[in-house]
Amino acid sequence: MTKTILITGASSGIGAGMAREFAQKGYNLAICARRMERLESLKQELESKYGVSVAAKTLDVTNYDQVFEVFRAFKEELGTIDRIIVNAGVGEGRRIGKGNFAINRATVETNFISALAQCEAAVEIFRAQNSGHLVMISSMSAMRGMPKHLTAYGASKAGVAHLAEGIRAELIDTPIKVTTIFPGYIRTEINEGAKKLPFEVDEQTGSRLLAAEIEKAPVKAYVPKWPWLPLGLAMKVLPLKLVNKLG
């Protein structure tokens, strides 16, 4: 039986990229994001290209009630949901103490509280099924406190990494799997205006590597593995001045 993957934030960037990769692997998809016209376009592309079934629904993850409504509606419509990828988030953030609390607050709320809502809705489905694979998209910026525009963003991504690990601890003796993914710099719509980033890869490469790692259902993975696996280990022990150079 064909398996189904639910992906949030699927209208652009690595969300859309992963949808393409998993459709190519033969998965049916449940895709959601704020921009329905983009989801419809992606749905048509994937159904015609790969012959898979794609369900699309509008979702603003900051509307917490809507998160539960949409996840439950997908479950009712599709039967079993085998994997849920908590991907929706924002790359905003500003230097601390420069009068941009509203932006930093929105970043943390979208990346952390909204992720909590998605995890609650996902695990509710998986507990009822007694099966499933929860995937949390964190970031390499979660390894250490980061400077400049990454301070609040990195803190929110560290938060979701700990959230995922706590859920893994809770479900450790069940058939439900939990994976935390730490992507390095992937050039997408979210950061298209930024300067060239250290060791960055393009969206297509990043999405392909992400899908390949997620398929293995590891406890955690750094993507791309080189150089981020050794760098991730180093970031935890290097002096903060050296870690700053990656920001």
User: Which range of residues forms the domain containing residue 116?
Assistant: 4-244
Counting the structural domains of the chain, the total is 1
pLDDT tens-digit readout, 125-171: 999 999 999 999 999 999 999 999 999 999 999 999 999 999 999 99
- pLDDT on residue 245: 85
pLDDT tens-digit readout, 3-19: 999 999 999 999 999 99
d(Cα 123, Cα 103) in Å, to the nearest integer?
Answer: 29
- pLDDT on residue 194: 67
d(Cα 162, Cα 14) in Å, to the nearest integer?
Answer: 22
pLDDT tens-digit readout, 174-205: 999 999 999 999 988 765 666 777 899 999 99
pLDDT tens-digit readout, 217-228: 999 999 999 999
Domain containing 185 — which CATH number?
Answer: 3.40.50.720
pLDDT tens-digit readout, 74-105: 999 999 999 999 999 999 899 999 999 999 99
Query: pTM value?
Result: 0.96
Residues annotated as part of the active site: 153
